Structure 1
Amino acid sequence: MFRQNETALIIGAGLQGCSIALFLARAGWNVTLLDKNIAGRHASSVNAGGLRTLMRDWREYPLSELAMHHWKHLDQLVGQDAAASCEVRLGVGQIAVALDEAELSWTYNRAQDMKERGLGAEELLSAKDVRQMLPGLTDKALGGLVSRGDGHANPAASTRAFREAAIAAGAQIVENCRVLGLDRAPGGGWAIETSSGAYGTGVLINCAGAWGAQIAAMAGQTLPLKVVAPSMMVTARTQPFLEPVVIGIDRPLSFKQSAVGSLVIGGGILGKPCADHDTSFTVMDRMTQGAAATLEAFPGLAHVPVLRTWTGLEGSTPDGIPFIGPGKNTSDFWNVFGFCGHGFQLAPAVGHVVSRSLVSGKVDPLLTPFSCARFNTGGAG
């Protein structure tokens, strides 16, 4: 028999929600996840799969380092076979390339700032260094930054692995279940009205991603969030030439070469979000910016055709880091959303630390920077 404070209902069964569910279920909690679509349908499965500490906001860095530990030992979370399916490749590195003097100056300032904070393992690269590490890189490259322990994974397989691990631990997932309203339950906890019926829980966790602010509003919380639609594209296969993930500094540059040779290109180019219809669209006129940035860095790729593009819906906060923590005067209502397109790598640590906070009844200090109160909006907490 579970006590009320050992029951959790999570709205949103993407990677963050499934990670929290996994850790809570293993701690003995009764956990239910609700998703208005199919679990992992949106940002969780359609991102670039970057496992990156490089160039993270310093406030995210401790959480990111904990997450990297979990990715290194993913088999302990999801099982050996599932971990293998996630295609985790760490140690190939992520490299930020400076293509002009302003970007090069930024790398020096970044390295100095991180050193003064005692954070990270980012190394400055000379022009010679960066060209040796990235065959085909333009002669314009002046240097860069590298985090050698970084890498990437398969996002769809990883989301599926966490989902199945959460279910194996005892969590229940209800799909195609849209939340229609929230209210305080007479005996304590929360009453949730959905398209599939009524649910009750002691602790309610909002992992609704691009729809996170809407769910928060149902609970009387006002949190600033912009819905965006980051775009991706993939090319035809080409001869293997690249192991590290390459990212830009002031350019929309982000790409890696997959195991089969195709290039997966991101870079923050935004499509058209249609959150009310649970979808988004590529804006082709914008996609040329990502292609141009890639060719500026690697001009020899001009002959490689783009085969397809896609988008995913995500929530973006004004300061570029997520909301992770309880709402105002609501220790039993947590917000965990607004990852601004770089939450994939953080997910195991988010699950670990949110679960640890709920089990102990005390918000973990690692979550302090992500407080829902940091904007001091009228209803935010």
Structure 2
Amino acid sequence: MTPSEYGTPAWGLAELPAQPPLHGTLTADVAVVGAGLAGLACAYHLAERAPGRDIAVIDAEGVAAGASGRGTGLLGPRAGPAIDRAVRRHGPWAARRMHLASVRAVAAVLALCGRLDVPCGLRPGGQIMATRAPVGLASLDRQSRAYRALGLDVPELSGPQVRARVGVPYTSGLLHRTAATLDPAALTCALARACAAKGVRFYGNSPLLAVRAGERAGSELVFPHGRLRAGQAVLAVNSAAQSVGLPVGTVLPLEVYAVATAPVSDAAYEALGGHEGYAVVDALPMAPYFRPLPDGGLVAGGGTVTLAAGVGAPRLRAVRERAWAWLGRWVRSLHPELAHLPVTHRWSGRIGMTGDGLPVVGPVHGLPDVWYIGGCCGHGLAMSVAHGAHVAAALLDEPDSGDPLPWHRPAAPRMPVSGPGRPLLRTYLDALGRATRRTC
């Protein structure tokens, strides 16, 4: 593949269950809309803990076609805003619980990979948040103080300690020990195969058009060529909630960008922490990041975010080209031996962003026995699996292990994103991106 072409790398994609379009009028005990990590984790836990329950998974395209198949594989602890902002908004006790929940979510994904007996390109290794810019240093200092005050094990790294791990001239960092990297598409496909083995039915190329309460009980989901009546429904549709008119608040569709490279030299791979499996995320607002791949290449993302709604195709193509070009230059700047490293893959994907940075995981107002999962704000690899397990437990009426977390809620805050609000938001995001790219 030449650098002028783009597509997600096929890292470990394998045979999938049949996914015919949904036709006619069908029924199911549970309908799961969305064949990404959240939806499939929910279906998997339901099928495992309630054998014999009739479960149908429906997707607008197919398994791993959305964000779960386009992610860059950083499995690290994070849910909601940075820890210092979480303390200010939710208080120390809730902020601590939020962080520990995200640590448990990482551990749960690692356990799931072992249970499914699929390697997924899994590489245990720490995740480093680092920077060399004054604004990033200030952010790291605030976060470090918050972690210490909460008694959380996130040690601060000096510049030499960061460079000893990844060989890039960062001046400070924070180390998340509970972290790993993996191929999220391979994990998503493994979950789909495991669900199919437990009797879960799959339907593809069937976008959800509407959902309404059933005449007697449950809900009725409408698709282009049919409808499905279900006793319970889980809508793991992320920012597509807006197009269906779900009353879950504002979940913005933001487009993010990534590139992957050819294999680097052994010396560069070692210097960039490849053999230890480190991933590095910059503390700047648009959080450019990189991680080594098992094949010896690198993957990088961040630096640019685009509000996808209302953007014409020519402008979006131009934004993508600029984002990919900058990521290629940034990767080559990480180490002298990368100066002429070719980019082999370029792609984009959609995340769901909420106004307060928290996901939405809860029942949908006005629709009995219908749940929504979405808005992970770019931190969905571990948390999506955790959200799916949480909703499965709720559908099975299993007792909750504790108080609700801040993202266990029916809706995100409403945001003024139509009319004059949309260009203002787009201008703000563009300004943040330009500032990040200049600083890096």
Tell me which interval the TM-score lies in, with the shorter structure as reference length. 0.7 to 0.9
The one-letter code of the counterpart of 1:262 is G
> Do 1:95 and 1:147's aligned partners in 2 also have CA atoms closer than 8 Å?
yes
Residue identity in the other structure for 1:182: V
Q: 1:245, 1:98 → 2: CA distance? A: 13
Matched, 1:305 2:329: no
Deviations 1:187-233 (CA, angstroms, capped at 9, x unpaired): 11111221231211111211112312223x1x5x1520211111110
8 A Cα contact 1:227 1:313, kept in partner: yes
1:107/1:142 CA distance change after superposition, 3 Å:
same
Match of 1:229 among 246, 250, 255: 255
Tell me the distance in 2 between the aligned counterparts of 1:147 and 1:34: 36
1:163 to 175, 192, 199: 192
Residues 247 and 376 (structure 1), Cα distance of their counterparts in 2 relative to 1, 3 Å cut: closer
Distance verdict in 2 for CA 1:98–1:328, change over 3 Å? same
* Per-residue deviation, 1:272: 7.6
Mapped pair 1:102 → 2:135: yes
> What is the correspondence of 1:126-141 to structure 2 with a 5 Å cutoff?
126-135=158-167, 137-138=168-169, 141=170
Aligned to 1:44, which of 68, 89, 93? 68
The aligned residue for residue 31 of structure 1 is 55
Equivalence for 1:142: 171
CA distance in 2, matches of 1:96, 1:55: 15
SS at match of 2:283: coil
1:204 is aligned to 233
Q: Paired residue for 1:65, among 81, 103, 110?
A: 103
**Size of the alignment, in residue pairs?**
360
8 Å CA contact 1:9–1:201 kept in 2: the answer is: yes
| Structure-1 separation of matches of 2:135 and 2:110 | 35
Unmatched runs of 5 consecutive residues or more in structure 1: 1-5
Q: 1:42 to 1:169 in 2, by over 3 A?
A: same
Query: Secondary structure at the residue paired with 1:73?
Result: helix
**% of aligned pairs identical?**
23
Cα distance change on mapping 1:276 and 1:302 into 2, 3 Å: closer
1:9 maps to which of 11, 31, 44:
31
| Structure 2 partner of 1:191 | 220
Shift of 1:19: 0.6
TM-score normalised by length of structure 1: 0.85
CA 1:17 to 1:172, structure 2 compared with 1: closer, same or farther past 3 Å?
same
Query: Deviation digits for residues 323-358 of structure 1, max 9, x if unmatched?
Result: 111122545121101122220122321222111122
> What CA distance in whole angstroms lies between the structure 2 residues aligned with 1:313 and 1:54?
18
> In the TM superposition, what whole-angstrom CA distance separates every residue of 1:147-177 from its partner, at most 9, and x where no partner exists?
1231110111111011111222222111111
Give the distance between the partners of 1:56 and 1:99, measured in 2 at CA: 24
Task: Please state if 1:245 is matched with 2:279.
Answer: yes
Alignment of 1:277-296 (within 5 A): 283-295=320-332
Say yes or no: does 1:176 pair with 2:200.
no
In the other structure, the counterpart of 1:111 is 144
RMSD: 2.8
**Residue in 2 aligned with 1:3?**
none
Q: Paired residue for 1:20, among 38, 42, 51?
A: 42
Unpaired runs of at least 5, structure 2: 1-27, 84-94, 416-440
Pairs within 5 Å for 1:297-336: 297-336=334-373
Q: TM-score, normalised by structure 2?
A: 0.74
SS at match of 1:313: strand
Matched residue type, 1:229: E
In structure 2, do the counterparts of structure 1 residues 56 and 210 end up closer, same or farther at CA, with 3 Å as the change threshold? Answer: closer
Which range moved further: 349-358 or 122-131?
349-358
